[in-house]
Chains A and B, each alone.
Chain A
Amino acid sequence: MSFERELVVRAQAGDEAAQEELVRQFSPMVFRLVSRFFRHREDVDDMAQDVFFKVFTRIDQVRPDENFPGWLRRVTINTCYDELRKTRRRNAAFEIYGPPPDVEPVAAPAPPEPEDFGIARVALEALDPKLKVPLILKEVEELSVAEIALSMGITQANVKVRLFRARKKLAASLARVANRE
């Protein structure tokens, strides 16, 4: 039995030391993946905590023959996807009704980035999560179509359609901005 498999089995039995070791081993991977979708360190940290929390509440679902890093990647991507959808719905509601009166808007400064990328960033942020997630996984995380399909629980044909639509929308947004300037 490999060391990783042994850790998973021990974690399934409720061994806290094994669970902590799993977090240590896989947190760099989870952080890297989450930071593809969220830019602020606090958001990435919160999301990564949510991912590991979900992992340990569902760890009994990991089959003995399952590839644990692959399973963890699926959980991470789905957690980020759910959060992006929630954020989008919340933002849509704020646009219509305004922010709730008892919530102070927290304006954390965004990490600095080259000026040229600002337009691309805005266009990417405006994409629907169901288009944005496969695009980021393909272009930034450099996953194959098959891996994206497996991670998102959709067919490969569906991934290709979403990638095509995402690129088209992104190009259209950038062209609009360029024309305005």
Chain B
Amino acid sequence: MNSKLDQFFRNERARVIEPDPFFAQRVMARVVARLREPRENGIWEGVRSGAKPVFALAFVLLLAFLAVQLFIPEMPSRGPIDAFMSPDQNGEHLIYLGADPSNPELERMIIITEDGQ
């Protein structure tokens, strides 16, 4: 088995394909044609290929940062419990809650709010 494989590999070593006489001209024609093609990548052509991933990553991070700034609402400086417990609270918020106006407690708070203004 192994001798057959060795023979096979020896046979492979002897199998060589040589380039034809016009190979260099064909390659150069292709290279020159490629160089004359209009640049498709725009600004990317000026960037070294090794640096392209770094630039791409920086660009994506910049876009992600802008998206966070634009689309995610800013956190309020105090939470709902802080707001409820704070001393400057009034009954103004109760007007917009659709609470029952016949409630005497609510009525009192609304009157206090109106008087304050």
Q: Interface on A for B, CB 8 Å cutoff?
A: 16, 19-20, 23-24, 27-28, 31-32, 34-36, 41, 44-45, 48-49, 52-53, 56-58, 60-61, 113-114, 116-117, 120-121, 136, 139-140, 142, 170-171, 174-175, 178
How distant is the Cα of A126 from the Cα of B8 in the complex, in angstroms? Answer: 16
Q: What residues of chain A lie closer than 8 Å to B5, measured between beta carbons?
A: 120, 170, 174
A contact patch SS: helix
What would 8 A/B residue contacts be, using CB atoms closer than 8 Å? A16-B28, A23-B28, A31-B18, A35-B15, A45-B20, A61-B49, A171-B1, A175-B1
Chain B, Cβ-Cβ closest to A32: B16
Closest chain-B Cβ to A8's Cβ sits at a distance in Å of: 15
Chain A, Cβ-Cβ closest to B11: A117
User: What string of 1s and 0s marks CB contacts (under 8 Å) between B10-42 and chain A?
Assistant: 011101111110011111101110100000000
Q: Does B78 sit at the interface, judged by CB under 8 A?
A: no
Interface residues on B, range: 20 to 34
How distant is the Cα of A20 from the Cα of B18 in the complex, in angstroms? Answer: 17
Chain B, Cβ-Cβ closest to A60: B48
B contact patch SS: helix
Q: What residues of chain A lie closer than 8 Å to B18, measured between beta carbons?
A: 28, 31
Q: Are A113 and B11 in contact (CB under 8 A)?
A: yes
Q: Are B11 and A53 in contact (CB under 8 A)?
A: no
Known: A24-B24, A52-B31, A58-B49. 14 other contacts (CB 8 A): A19-B28, A19-B31, A20-B24, A28-B19, A32-B16, A35-B15, A45-B23, A61-B49, A120-B8, A136-B12, A140-B9, A140-B12, A170-B5, A178-B1
Of A31, A114, A120, the residue contacting B19 (CB under 8 A) is A31
Q: What residues of chain A lie closer than 8 Å to B9, measured between beta carbons?
A: 139-140
Known contacts A24-B24, A58-B49, A114-B11; A49 and B16 CB within 8 A of each other: no
